Structure 1
């Protein structure tokens, strides 16, 4: 416990005060089991900022005890390892029982400064077989673990709700995917890993008692302000729907694509979880599919908002027995569209440096996206360079214009944009600072992750550390790291990410 006025206590891995609130649920919700050890584990990467959330001493990173514990070779005192059961819709099809097929929850620890309940669960992803592994081997591979680690921390730095990644530990033990690959374990953190599919599991099995137990647990622990609502389950569904809409608007505004928005990958807290074949938009294409395993484009960039709402309706179906009736359930879901539209509008206005809302703004924004689509403009560079535009000096637009093949079309849109900016009478320097504070210069491009992965596969982990350092300050200029903001090289267009990990 921390004493007010004194520096926070820095824990070692063995003194973290573990509890496991999820283990207080009845045994039907999980299976207690230990992680399966791996031979000769080693540290691949670790996040100081994630460690700070739980007051973990970062000097622990260099200790064998830290590595052995978070590789699953030993169990920290006070932890109560378990794998949770859940179900879900995968690519729109009911998949039945799923569950933690390769993730084991150690427990939750205090996380001072985080929102209610002020704790973080620590989960080992890739720590061995569980009763829910189905045809899998319970392991994760190095490449996907590095991608999840980097993106979790990058999203946090962008201010987007997300699970966090404490570290990745590796082992030379091989696992088979398309080819043999090196295994790894990612330690990820979130207040809870309860997901939409956790509720679907009990609904589709006709077990209302367990459904109510889970809903009451989530409300009491994570939404205590809803306890006194006239209908707490209606209030829960409405708030989760609102948070989900808000989250997906943030994804769209930064060009992030999740890739696998199955209901079992949707957090009940409205956080980004379960990073798999994700991607950040580069050459803008509203129909872009970042997941090679999704040929129909269900989870394309343009579909994410609709799928987010679809998933909320799936959650509403699962909660229907508690909410009471169809009309009351539908009422809770009505918050999605206005919340999404309001949030996205606010974010886009900020990205364009607009402080007010004008009746013609939708037309200006629509024209901008059509222009970006027609020219396949790099998403991140466009918004970043737009902040450098000077209202009364189009001659300084060259870096921005160079992103477009059809420069006259850009010039025509820029005239409209400048006209709109003049309505606000805002100085260029002030607007630029505001735009650069919301339009990142650095995002986790696929090719950057790939370079780090290939070096790590040869036991050189230095590029992961360098990339993490860059991504933790995405809005800063960082002139010494300018290369990380460059357009992707030609070979990057051949990269593919899929559900295989």
Structure 2
């Protein structure tokens, strides 16, 4: 369809004032379109030719609204670093409405749109730096086959916004099947709005669990929790397998449908370090990389507690007890794929654990090692793999490869087929922080070509793209452990 034909509906906002407030965005005076995402245009059913429509700059900053749009600030609460905060909500973003395409409903959310009733002391703005990081992160995880919100566009401005320093303001249109967070249910529970909570449970079930429509509200709430638990388990298993650290896994940053949500100080691992902390505000390591499965379970407990008005304690406990085996199974499946294994054996978990320990001790680049392993055919010495590890670990590598060779032999693995499958599983291109920083610094000078290039590479990260080899290089030492804050 043409851009002029896009018409938004408002099933979430139409549920009533218990869920937020209608408010118009505060647009930029001089907006500039920085990038439009062709892949998301396709998701929404908008013609590719519409990418050049001059209205995007106005639509992407709220100066002009899509047909039928009635912007809405969502109210929710949540636990931040384990402490309940009742004063949360869309403080700088507005739900514009929903687009229907091919049986799916996609919500458009304008982020950086100005102050709302939930801004507290914030200015309601986003900066170009954080906007680019969120824009690229959604494409990176989606390209790796991990559920995520995505973004349709970035619009920049010359409007000054103060964070750690004065930066340029920007907005993006975030796209997701749902923007409902764990914190939405916590808000309605702690404010004793059980009728509204029942309404929200019904809406989630209608959209994502259609087979539950004839169930009682208690059965629907339990079905929703089981759905969210499973999707969250699959999500965090995916993060651990690709080396993604979210950085701020508060309950208000957790999606009820199991999407990666609210990008702030995230990072992908360079050297494999399970204790890695990407958020310099996380002084206790609550959200360290290796802690993510446990934190997601903690958040699910908070969600379950908020549903205790509808679901028995026994049923809640049973739901939550499914999480750990679901994470273990999903992670094992992803790691077998990364190792090129097509069958399952009892010793696979130990084989994987031994490799991860080797990578940690050898200070190996996680992504580059698995990409090199994707070309391994039993050669000795395994020079491509040795180059990824400190020399002191070469002997341990040889020992591990012996176990790996015997494991491959037991399933009669064909090296050519295995290499092809592994190259389609272990990415060549990754959203490393030093690359994101390079793109941001270039964009701040008005040059957006590196942003366009990196976005395209992240959308097909397993392909060779031989003309862009430099983007697949290991980071320099100065590019590792770049300090990141929540304003990132």
TM-score in same-fold range (> 0.5): yes
Name the structure 1 match of 2:224: 236
1:23 aligns with 2:10: no
User: What secondary structure sits across from 2:86 in the alignment?
Assistant: strand
User: What secondary structure sits across from 1:497 in the alignment?
Assistant: coil
Name the structure 2 match of 1:313: 301
| Structure 1, unpaired ranges of 5+ | 1-9
Whether the aligned pair in 2 keeps the contact of 1:60 and 1:66 (CA below 8 Å) is no
The verdict on how the C-alpha distance between 1:214 and 1:97 changes in structure 2, with shifts beyond 3 A counting, is: farther
Partners in 2 of 1:223 and 1:422 — Cα distance? 43
1:499 aligns with 2:459: no
User: What secondary structure sits across from 2:480 in the alignment?
Assistant: helix
1:160 aligns with 2:151: no
Q: 1:271 aligns with which of 259, 263, 270?
A: 259
Q: 1:258 aligns with which of 243, 246, 252?
A: 246
Kindly state the Cα deviation for residue 494 of structure 1 after the two structures are TM-superposed. Answer: 5.5
Kindly state the Cα deviation for residue 159 of structure 1 after the two structures are TM-superposed. Answer: 1.2
Q: 2:407 aligns with which of 406, 414, 420?
A: 420
Partners in 1 of 2:2 and 2:249 — Cα distance? 36
Name the structure 2 match of 1:288: 276
Comparing 450-459 with 484-493, greater Cα deviation is found at 484-493
Partners in 1 of 2:89 and 2:134 — Cα distance? 19
Whether the aligned pair in 2 keeps the contact of 1:387 and 1:435 (CA below 8 Å) is yes
RMSD of equivalent CA atoms:
1.2
Name the structure 1 match of 2:324: 337
Name the structure 2 match of 1:480: 467
Name the structure 2 match of 1:176: 162
Kindly state the Cα deviation for residue 229 of structure 1 after the two structures are TM-superposed. Answer: 4.4
Name the structure 2 match of 1:7: none
Partners in 2 of 1:47 and 1:76 — Cα distance? 17
Name the structure 2 match of 1:370: 357
User: What secondary structure sits across from 1:28 in the alignment?
Assistant: helix
Comparing 19-28 with 178-187, greater Cα deviation is found at 19-28
Partners in 1 of 2:375 and 2:151 — Cα distance? 34
**Which aligned pairs between 1:217-236 and structure 2 lie closer than 5 A?**
217-229=203-215, 231-236=219-224
Name the structure 2 match of 1:399: 384
Question: Could you list the per-position Cα deviations for residues 269-320 of structure 1 after superposition, in whole angstroms to 9, with x for gaps in the alignment?
Answer: 1111111111111101000011112121111110000011111111000011
1:433 aligns with 2:420: yes
1:102 aligns with 2:92: yes
1:54 aligns with 2:56: no
Partners in 1 of 2:98 and 2:148 — Cα distance? 17
Partners in 1 of 2:126 and 2:430 — Cα distance? 24
* Matched pairs, number: 484
Kindly state the Cα deviation for residue 101 of structure 1 after the two structures are TM-superposed. Answer: 0.4
Name the structure 2 match of 1:385: 372
Whether the aligned pair in 2 keeps the contact of 1:290 and 1:300 (CA below 8 Å) is yes
Name the structure 2 match of 1:213: 199
Whether the aligned pair in 2 keeps the contact of 1:97 and 1:201 (CA below 8 Å) is no
1:11 aligns with 2:13: no
Partners in 2 of 1:495 and 1:232 — Cα distance? 44
| Structure 2, unpaired ranges of 5+ | none
